Amino acid sequence: SGRLYLVPTPIGNLGDMSPRAVTTLQEVDLIAAEDTRNTAKLLNYFEIKTPQISFHEHNTMERIPLLVDKLLAGQNLAQVSDAGMPSISDPGQELVKACIEKQIPVVPLPGPNAALTALIASGITPQPFTFYGFLPRKNKDLKAELATLANERYTLIFYEAPHRLKKTLKALLEAFGGDRQVVLCRELTKQYEEFLRGDLQAAYDFSSTEEVRGEFVLIVAGNSTPNQAEQVEQDTNLSLKAQVEA
């Protein structure tokens, strides 16, 4: 069979496209792209003539059998998303699973990714970390998820759209408290790259005074204080034990 190449693309700076990524896109038979018009610009820039087929969240399931057939027939395929690593808060994972099932080799290329790029410049402990991606949009789901994450000790990485930043920071502030350290990493690799470091209260204040623009990754420090629910449980156990012993 052919191979499925997973090809990361720049998150803003075309200079981050690796020579291997260019060669791979040139040499495969077909590129499965999240948005073919968007990827056409990248292909133009690097003078890559390979044909494309659309592969996005709304046609994943109908496309997979077609792409798997092409791979089984010996064609090499590359999968790309609009920016950064395929499968990271982007389409790709279902195709990878389908290939593994059919024993089609999957070849990942390293490259641009917003989460790790933000993490290494944040100044917040880089490991262990939990990459979350986009939080749920529905209020109820958002609250429930943040209630669980509030006790996470690992550094947390979130993606968010600019028009939702304020709402998300408010929810984070309510769930984690205003003192928790956060870094808003804006426009990574681009002309107006910026890191806003502070606590959740300051970050929320920032997001509510300004019309926020650009792309953001949020790096949030983990919870460094003992889990309160656990604490209560331990105390209860202690008093129970004391009663039993008495």
Shortest Å, Cβ 112 to ligand SAM: 7
18 binds ligand SAM (CB under 6 A): no
Of the ranges 62-70, 112-120, 122-130, 198-206, which one interacts with ligand SAM (CB under 6 A)? 112-120
> In whole angstroms, what is the distance from residue 132 CA to residue 87 CA?
13
Question: In terms of CB distance, is 129 or 216 closer to ligand SAM?
Answer: 216
Strand ranges of the sheet holding 155-160, from the earlier edge strand across to the other edge: 129-134, 155-160, 216-220, 181-186, 194-199
Q: What is the C-alpha to C-alpha distance for residues 55 and 36, in angstroms, rounded to an integer?
A: 9
Q: What DSSP state is assigned to residue 15?
A: G
Could you give the residue ranges of the DSSP H alpha helices within the chain?
19-27, 36-45, 60-72, 93-101, 114-122, 139-149, 165-176, 200-209, 228-245
Q: Is residue 88 part of the contact set for ligand SAM (CB under 6 A)?
A: yes
Q: Strands 181-186 and 30-33, how do they pair? A: unpaired
According to the binding rule CB under 6 A, does residue 55 interact with ligand SAM?
no
Site string for ligand SAM, 215-234 (x = CB under 6 A): xxx-----------------
How much helix, strand and coil, in percent to the nearest 5, is found in the chain?
45, 20, 35
Q: Which is nearer to ligand SAM, 119 or 146 (CB)?
A: 119
* Number of residues in contact with ligand SAM under rule CB under 6 A: 23
> Of the two residues 80 and 104, which places its CB atom closer to ligand SAM in the complex?
80
Task: Give the residue closest to ligand SAM by C-beta.
Answer: 84
Residues in contact with ligand SAM by CB under 6 A are 11-12, 81, 83-85, 88-90, 113-115, 159-161, 185, 187-190, 215-217
